[in-house]
Amino acid sequence: MAQDSNTEPSKKRPGLAPGRRFNFSIWYLVAVLVVLVAVQTFMSGQRNARVPYSQFKQMVADGRVNKLVVTGEKIIGEERLDSAGTSRVRTFETIRVEDADLVKQLEEKGIQFEGRKETNWWQGFLFAWVLPFAVIFIVWSFLLRRMGGGGAGGVMSFGKSRAKVYVESATKLSFKDVAGIDEAVEELKEVVDFLKMPAKFRALGASIPKGVLLVGAPGTGKTLLARAVAGEAKVPFFTISGSDFVEMFVGVGAARVRDLFQQAQQKAPCIVFIDELDALGKARGANPWGGHDEREQTLNALLVEMDGFESTRGVIIMAATNRPEILDMALLRPGRFDRQVVVDSPDINGSKAILNVHVRGKKIGPDVKLRVIAARTPGFVGADLANALNEAALLAARRGKKEIGMADLEEAVDREMTGIERRSRVLKPKVKEKIAFHECGHAIVGAKLPRMDPIHRVSIIPRGMSMLGHTLYLPTDDQYLITKEEILHRITAALGGRAAEELVFGEITSGAYNDLMQVTGMARAMVMDYGMSEKLGMLVYRRRMQPTRENPFPMQEDVFGDKTAELIDTEVKRIVDECYEQAKAILRESTDLLNAMAKRLLEVEVLEGDELRVFLGAERTTDFSRVEEDSISEAERGADQGQTEPPAGEGDSRLGTRLDRQG
């Protein structure tokens, strides 16, 4: 069970000397009330001059009274005193006497008077003193608690750490719940061994790295990996975000850092995990207009605690970030975060392993082939794969099914990649016909080129914001290098849609815009980056600037002159023109196939599986029956394992599923 460290009793409070505690006593309140009563009595006794009623009557008769206030017990008025040409006023009071002629006499003299209900002295004291002070105290306490982050201690909790502590019984994750990042797991097993058996390392004089920095794109499972380390080592796990240290008050963040490490020392051995470290550890001095004093003080406190005079043996600091280039160099030096573990995206096998973890507790149908889904989702991280499986479960439930089928998973992946189907969009028959020939042109040209991936689906159903159709190629394996011939084949297949439009309709449309963007990029990369042009040679004409602390969003820089630029444009155009002519030649030889396939696509809107193999052949299309798939146990298909934590996986080294789209 997670518990907030703020709620734990503390033997020391910030701002008080060790061993001293402030104890509230009721006698303090009694003393304050006695003082207030004395002040109220003194002020009430010194306020008005007392006069006999007979003297008051004479003052009225002489016309020396300005105005009167008549209460149930007394009469309070103002007397005008004239002496030596000067005039002044004093306040007096007298005991009220039953006098029937008083009102008539006051009216004759033109004296203003009014009646007022008299309040008890304690009521006046309550409303004049106690109530205002109580309101001020309540508002003050509320504001301090809000600014201090709430919790016990009020103002004394400003410097308390907001870290949540997961005790040994609450951290139930282990490395078996992490999939797709085997290298990162192997790196962190050393940390687990140190936490379990520190004596083995210390006997040889070895010291474990104090800080481990997990680097990876969002969703890779960095937090899950840190929790798995704590679960394997069976030690307490402190977790906090980097932004929780920074507050509006200078010095609060540094105090929280010191309090966090103090708590960690008390529970050592343990793991302290700081998520989004870049919010706290940005490089100092990067801003030429001045730094953020509070953030820099907090960072300085963290640096001192990680490698200061005081030992932190038994406390492992782990942090996660997706922007390591902007971190302060002092954080990355030996003795602090000197070990960086890259949490990268999974390959096909890694994606399949992640899917195997996520199907726990879900009812999976016998037709589901997770390797096909893994091949269809290059670039998907663990969070994406978890979302796809959850979306498939929602679709299956919406359709009234008892288990998740392959069709549900395919639809969920399509939704995440291209958006939901928009069957409500009404297209004119002529427009729909052009889209069908365009997509069939992609498919036929891609099927005729041997270095292209198998074709998985051809569709003319609109999806997302602007996609009117798409042709999906499904890679069979991970690909880390690409040959010149493969790039040329991809350019040719991408131009197959434009070639089909020109050959069939004698005109071209704007539907090939996305294809032309891809084609131009691939051709320029061949000439400027990969040295695949005979005229320009094996030179790199475009330098990709690496991100720095001063410029975390670098731009590409062209390093050539005007004459070379003209030659580059000529060579790029030559490559694209030659591939376009090759695409048209392939379609001229396959006119009957193009017409038959487009006609059928207009009827069914989607061609895949056996129907697609009728036109393109079994060797050039995907066939699920040929995919080797490990069997999914009955426990994985339907039993609730009670463990549905998302596994890791993120960023991607694969070149990706090719997706040619119309519109």
Active-site residue list: 439
User: Which of 232, 224, 215 lies closest to 358 in space, CA to CA?
Assistant: 224
Query: Which residues make beta-bridge pairs with 329?
Result: none
Torsion over CA: 144, 148, 154, 156 (sign): negative
Neighbours of 559 (CB within 10 A): 12
Type and span of the H or E element at 608: strand 606-608
Please give the Cα distance from 46 to 311 (Å, whole number). 67
Work out the angle between the directed axes of helices 406-418 and 382-398 (0-180°, nearest 10).
Answer: 120
Please give the Cα distance from 196 to 182 (Å, whole number). 21
Tokens coding 464: 């997302």
Please give the Cα distance from 42 to 212 (Å, whole number). 69
Question: What are the CA-CA distances from residue 251 to residues 4, 257, 275, 655 (Å)?
Answer: 22, 10, 21, 48
Please give the Cα distance from 505 to 499 (Å, whole number). 10
Please give the Cα distance from 142 to 154 (Å, whole number). 9
Which residues, including other chains, have CB under 8 Å from residue 220's CB and lie 6 or more apart?
181, 343, 344, 345, 381, 382, 648, 649, 650, 651
Work out the angle between the directed axes of helices 484-494 and 496-505 (0-180°, nearest 10).
Answer: 40
Question: What are the CA-CA distances from residue 404 to residues 4, 359, 386, 553, 627 (Å)?
Answer: 39, 10, 14, 42, 19
User: Which of 570, 575, 437 lies closest to 499 in space, CA to CA?
Assistant: 437
